[in-house]
Amino acid sequence: MNKKWEFYGRNEEEVKKVQEEFNLSRLLATIIVNKGLKTKEEIEVFLNPTRKDFHDPYLMPDMKIAVDRIVKAIEKQEKVIIYGDYDVDGITSITVLKKFLADRGLQVDSYIPNRLDEGYGLNKAAIEKIVSEGYQLMITVDCGISGIEEIDYANSLGLETIVTDHHEPADVLPNALAVVDAKRKDNQYPFNQLAGVGVVFKLAQAISQVYNLDEKEYLKFLDIVCVGTISDIVPLVDENRVIAKLGLKLVEVTRNVGLKALLNSIGYKKIDSSAISFGVAPRINACGRMGYEQEALKLFLTDNVVEATNISKKLNDYNKQRQDIERKIYQGVLTKIENGEKDKPCIVLADKNWHHGVIGIVSSKVTEMYYKPSILICLEDGEGKGSGRSIPGFDLHEALSKCDTYIDRFGGHSMAIGISVNEDNFEKFKNEFEEYVNNSNIKDLIPIIKVDEEVTSKDISVSIVNDLNKLEPFGEANKMPVFMYKNLRINSIRALSEGKHLKLTLKDEGLVIDAIGFNMGHLVDEYLLGDKVDVLGNLEINSFNGRESVQINLKDLRKSY
């Protein structure tokens, strides 16, 4: 598929100014300018954030109400429960709040709904159980903002609730004691993109101020807060960048026995955002996807090294099971697509043999491969539950709101949704949705790759590429920079991993550069030795036998003109 290469608007004068003022390489200064960072203060906070760069927690809506109620619970030793989500953000949120309150002398319990049986968020059966066990206060983390009916039900049973969340609220807020969410319309907090665990961190910071505690009493949890923040794919800018940058330093020397055991079991040599995103996060999320959410929480809460090691082994096993199931479903989906769905404007499929715990990942892969919106639905006992993913420029949430005749429930946002459809209505829904997509502008949408800068042989050095590490941690809204290198001659080309990946050596006069293109093996037959190509990719350091060299991680390539 052809992709559009689009440069950021260049301002050479600004680049030169940043380069000189902060003593940076040209490439690094260019990327800083591309990010829209202009003032000296903005650039300094981006490059070297400190604990002084956290915002005042009391600017968050209802923060004082929440803090006063929790302080009362601590002083009266009330029975309190934390209700959290089953993903990494939810698990880390429970961990931080539970440990922080334990340090204040309040032992609290937790409740995590089972993804396969209960689904996401608050539910009335869980609330009945919580009330029957005598809890006086429920604190939600990473959920609750959409639980309007459930919180009304909790109120009717005499259970008080504090909501802490980071998701978009509806027009009406839940009738809780406090609703701490910076996405509220009346929000005064200067940053509204925190993860759920980030909101919990601010709650701990606010409680610490009431008790006049040393900063370390909440800052010591930044390793766990960092894991949840990076894993939840929130924008790594502003306060999230402070959390991630400082938190990764703590992760390297973490005193959390479970996190340390998991990192050891994964075997990452370098602890960076990739180690969290591709090592830690999938294993924690696999627990929730496979229905073993309590194991992930136990891992972060245990102080027993043997137990932590054993749980880490389980998490690796769950992740392997998840990968095996995902691979099988993915192959089945590809077969269905190639047998009649390939030419349609979108991909909408259902099957009785799919596992709805992993269907969202498969939908993401399908959308990435075909560059079309996809909705995949698992059918069981006449009901269909599924997930959908979209492409930039097509609002999937809005599309479903216009095609809701046969939908039971749906939620999410423009790029990702969850959906429930009765099996008898699936084909009708599919037809309605396909017709809507067909009448949209989707045929005009092509993938765009944003290019930071063009590089030449003088930019290809280990020291210059290492300088780019100052941009870490990478993640949403702070992607690894993409560079264009023109007129390279193909010196060697082959496919790896049974045709899945592409491996090249590229030559520019006397310089020979290795390049790897993950999931680009299908291009091996389109190029010959000696062909001149322009490439897009990230510049990385490849270490082999004690020798370091620059490698290009390809994002796209095309023949030079």
User: Residues 102, 221: one domain?
Assistant: yes
Print burial letters for 116-153: b (CB count within 10 Å at least 16), e (below 16).
beeebbbbeebbeebbeeebebbbbbbbbbbbbebbeb
pLDDT category of residue 504 using cuts at 50, 70 and 90: very high
User: Residues 269, 161: one domain?
Assistant: no
**Residue 458 to residue 95: CA distance in whole angstroms:** 48
User: Residues 14, 149: one domain?
Assistant: no
Residue 3 lies in a domain: no
Q: 155-163, long-range: CB within 8 Å, 24+ apart, which pairs? A: 157/127, 157/128, 157/131, 158/131, 159/127, 159/130, 159/131, 159/135, 160/69, 160/136, 161/137, 162/66, 162/69, 162/70, 162/137, 162/138
User: Residues 78, 170: one domain?
Assistant: yes
Closest CA to 35 of 485, 481, 491, 533: 481
Question: Residues 519-528: pLDDT tens digits?
Answer: 899 999 999 9
In terms of residue numbers, what domain contains 314? 254-331
Give the pLDDT score at 225. Answer: 98
User: Residues 413, 547: one domain?
Assistant: no
Q: Please give the average per-residue pLDDT across 27-46, as a whole number.
A: 91
Give the pLDDT score at 241. Answer: 96
Residue where a domain terminates, one of 243, 263, 289: 243
Are 348 and 374 in contact, with CB atoms under 8 Å apart?
A: yes
Residue 51 lies in a domain: no
Residue 481 lies in a domain: yes
Give the pLDDT score at 281. Answer: 95
CATH of the domain at 114: 3.90.1640.30
**Residue 33 to residue 37: CA distance in whole angstroms:** 6
Give the pLDDT score at 87. Answer: 92
Count of domains for the chain:
5
User: Residues 224, 94: one domain?
Assistant: yes
User: Residues 309, 322: one domain?
Assistant: yes
User: Residues 327, 352: one domain?
Assistant: no
Q: Given a cut of 80, is residue 116 above it in pLDDT? A: no
Q: Please give the average per-residue pLDDT across 239-264, as a whole number.
A: 97
Give the pLDDT score at 515. Answer: 96
Q: Given a cut of 90, is residue 547 above it in pLDDT? A: no
Give the pLDDT score at 57. Answer: 98
* pLDDT over 90 percentage in the chain: 85
Residue 375 lies in a domain: yes
What are the structure tokens assigned to 134, written together? 């005598």
Residue where a domain terminates, one of 444, 462, 494: 444
Q: What sign for the dihedral angle of Cα 38, 44, 50, 56?
A: negative
Question: Residues 90-101: pLDDT tens digits?
Answer: 999 999 999 999
Residue 482 lies in a domain: yes
CATH of the domain at 453: 2.40.50.460
User: Residues 206, 62: one domain?
Assistant: yes
Give the pLDDT score at 114. Answer: 85
Residue 506 lies in a domain: yes
pLDDT category of residue 495 using cuts at 50, 70 and 90: very high
User: Residues 355, 324: one domain?
Assistant: no
What is the pTM (predicted TM-score) of this model? 0.90
Q: Given a cut of 80, is residue 412 above it in pLDDT? A: no
User: DSSP readout, 358-376?
Assistant: THHHHHHHHHHHH-S-EEE
Are 352 and 380 in contact, with CB atoms under 8 Å apart?
A: yes
Q: Given a cut of 90, is residue 503 above it in pLDDT? A: yes
Q: Please give the average per-residue pLDDT across 531-543, as a whole number.
A: 94
Residue 1 lies in a domain: no
Amino acid (1-letter code) at residue 145 = I
Question: Residues 418-453: pLDDT tens digits?
Answer: 899 999 999 999 999 999 999 998 988 999 999 999
Q: Given a cut of 90, is residue 390 above it in pLDDT? A: yes
Give the pLDDT score at 80. Answer: 98
User: Residues 66, 120: one domain?
Assistant: yes
Residue where a domain terminates, one of 215, 243, 271: 243
Residue 321 lies in a domain: yes
Print burial letters for 296-327: b (CB count within 10 Å at least 16), e (below 16).
bbbbbbbeeeebbbbbbebbeebbebbeebbe
User: Residues 61, 37: one domain?
Assistant: no
CATH of the domain at 434: 3.10.310.30
**Residue 340 to residue 343: CA distance in whole angstroms:** 7
